[in-house]
Chain A
Amino acid sequence: MMALNLFQLFRGEWLKIAGNRWVVIFLIWIFPAAMLLVGVAAILFALLTEDFREAQRLTGVAPWNESLLSTWDIVNNQIGRWVILAFTANIFAGEYTHGTWKNLIIHRRRVTLIINKFVTLAVFVTAAFVAVSIINGIASGILASILDIDYGLSNAGAVMGEFIKDYLLQMFITLTGTFIVASFAALAAMITRNVLASVIVGVIINMVETVGVVFFFGLVDWLLKINLFELYRYLPTYSLENINSWIGFSRGLDTSFAGQEYIAPSLEMSLLVVVLWAFGLVALTAYLFQRQDISS
């Protein structure tokens, strides 16, 4: 009964978001659509031009498992982050802009509503990037067969267990990163109560977290001779990059600041850091929303 009730809540949010067609097309379905376009273009070029086939044979085609995995980190690069920020801003600030929070809050606990929004957002992102991943996998497979390159399917059975583990880990990292960025936008939406303003404030928060903090540490080091750079290694963006470095290159992302070398934290430590950030920011969003007056 409880599960059915929560599913209804999720379905309501899904209908609401999906109904805002242009927003969903331009901020979510654009990823699989773009991947489809790129894939089809690559296949057509491979079929039609010898030069392209030659060039592609030199660069090669990644095996199926790498093709399926490689698309997941799009969300965690800056462009991907901005798109997620804009999408989240629409989901959260849209309720203020349309004046619809008052319809929802009366009958559901605010915490439930906020968590439901994050969950629905995560489902949209997951659906889009699973689609991107599958399209890339299929397109790369077709390309490999046109070019007569081994796509690694013959030993698929042997690496399947490892692949599933990596795939789930990559999904988990992407979603954790999504929650962090989405929280920036959600917090901005709560402050500004406007979609455009929350995108702008969300982008500013994101930039402060990535670049601004380093600038601030530099300033503190220069003015007060206090080195705070150690803290940078516990910020979300660095931790996500460190995780990607561990997964991609089997080594951490060592850094240097003011002439001092910093050894990267372990994969487990960075995973813990991003999970704590994601939980903390979602909890902060829920807490602030719980205390907010809905006066529009």
Chain B
Amino acid sequence: MTVAIQLQGLTKHFGRWKKRIVAVKDADLTVEAGQVYGFLGPNGAGKTTTIRMMLDLIRPTEGTAHIFGKNIRQNHEVLRRVGALVEGAKFYPYLSGRKNLEVLARTNGNYDKQRVMRLLEQVGLAARANQRYKGYSTGMKQRLGLAAALLHDPELIILDEPTNGLDPAGIQEMRTFIRDLVHQHGKTVFLSSHMLNEVEQVCDRVAIINKGEIIREGAVSVLLETQARVRIQAQPLEKAASLLQERWQVSLNGEQPHTTFVVESAADEVPHIVRRLVENDIDVYEVTSYRQSLEAFFLTVTHDNEKEKTS
């Protein structure tokens, strides 16, 4: 197993004394090569600061970031294996999209005219390649940013909010593009986003960061499975709910009179639930097992985390 990214106790403070802000605290993370890894968090959670530390743009206050096993502060060259789009694409406004890519490729020391044109075609900018960057729409700028990230054919691609400014079709294209990068070209993608739907659809694993701390990490399917729910329609409803409350967390659905209730439980516990209800003379009309969306999961864990902190 190749480890693409490893963060150990990564911490960043901004400011000093009373004005000190802890932007990222003790971030530990391991991303294996060959997967799409989601990095989720609300605005201001510390996602971009973490990424900037991973790319040696800002110095960590404490901790280390390793890319492909090498400490980036001691082996800056390892970042040549990384392509990144950080916090929105930024280029020279007075140069065309093509010239901007040429400047970057030459700075990297690997200019290839054909590759530049191919990439511009791939991201749908070939027709506007010679137009000045300052005339580009937000979506076009993001596309150029993606082309820049892929310019030197990197093994690891770090994308920070890549779908910002894209229209729905563009978002869909971007998702397909990211999946292709991993499944067809064997790349590793680290995708930071607050668009939960996007992360749920493309990522294999995910880490959730809130107020600078990584609060959950794991495979998307496993994380959501732990938060699975069962909706039950039974009579008498109140009796059924109170019976199950002894073992599971139960909440009544909708306004009164209630017709269903929800049990927080994994799907494999459904037979136990049903058996218990039937044994207690409760008529069961419908049992629906469903998985929480990543959005609901995210809101639950960030909310719980905030509650823990305030208490």
Chain A residues with a Cβ under 8 A of chain B: 5, 8-9, 11-13, 15-16, 19-21, 94, 98-109, 113, 291, 293-295
- Pick the residue among A12, A19, A99, A293 that contacts B107 (CB under 8 A): A12
Q: Which of A102, A107, A108, A294 has the most CB of B within 10 A?
A: A107
Interface of A is mostly: helix
Question: Given A8-B110, A102-B57, A102-B86, 6 other A-B contacts at CB below 8 A?
Answer: A5-B109, A8-B106, A100-B92, A102-B84, A107-B108, A109-B76
Q: Which range contains the number of B residues in contact with the other chain?
A: 20 to 34
Known: A98-B91, A107-B108. A15 touches B103 (CB 8 A): yes
Tell me which residues across on chain A come within 8 A of B102, comparing CB atoms: 12, 15
Tell me which residues across on chain B come within 8 A of A293, comparing CB atoms: 52, 57-59
**Residues 100-115 of chain B, each 1 if its beta carbon lies under 8 Å from chain A, else 0:** 0011111111110000
Q: Verify if B99 is at the interface (C-beta below 8 Å from A).
A: yes
A20 to B148, CA, bound (A): 20
Say whether B57 contacts A295, CB under 8 Å: yes
Tell me which residues across on chain B come within 8 A of A294, comparing CB atoms: 52, 57-58
Q: Verify if B94 is at the interface (C-beta below 8 Å from A).
A: yes
- Pick the residue among B59, B99, B152 that contacts A291 (CB under 8 A): B59
Tell me which residues across on chain A come within 8 A of B95, comparing CB atoms: 15-16, 19
A101 to B55, CA, bound (A): 12
**Residues 263-291 of chain B, each 1 if its beta carbon lies under 8 Å from chain A, else 0:** 00000000000000000000000000000
A205 to B141, CA, bound (A): 37
Say whether B86 contacts A12, CB under 8 Å: no
Say whether B148 contacts A103, CB under 8 Å: yes
Known: A8-B109, A100-B90. A106 touches B55 (CB 8 A): yes
Say whether B99 contacts A98, CB under 8 Å: no
A31 to B6, CA, bound (A): 53
A13 to B105, CA, bound (A): 11
Known: A8-B106, A99-B90. A106 touches B152 (CB 8 A): no
Q: Which 8 A-B pairs have the closest CB atoms?
A: A12-B106, A99-B90, A293-B58, A12-B107, A5-B109, A294-B57, A8-B106, A19-B95
Tell me which residues across on chain B come within 8 A of A99, comparing CB atoms: 90
A108 to B57, CA, bound (A): 12
Query: What's the nearest-Cβ distance from chain B to residue A124, in Å?
Result: 16
Query: What's the nearest-Cβ distance from chain A to residue B78, in Å?
Result: 11
Say whether B91 contacts A295, CB under 8 Å: no
A77 to B110, CA, bound (A): 40
Instruction: Mark out the residues of chain B between 91 and 134 whose CB falls within 8 Å of any chain A CB in the assembled complex.
Output: 91-95, 99, 102-111
Say whether A11 contacts B106, CB under 8 Å: yes
A20 to B79, CA, bound (A): 29
A75 to B110, CA, bound (A): 35
Query: What's the nearest-Cβ distance from chain B to residue A90, in Å?
Result: 11
Tell me which residues across on chain B come within 8 A of A101, comparing CB atoms: 57
Tell me which residues across on chain B come within 8 A of A109, comparing CB atoms: 76
- Pick the residue among A8, A13, A94, A102 that contacts B111 (CB under 8 A): A8
**Residues 71-85 of chain B, each 1 if its beta carbon lies under 8 Å from chain A, else 0:** 000001001101010
A16 to B111, CA, bound (A): 14
- Pick the residue among B91, B94, B152 that contacts A107 (CB under 8 A): B152
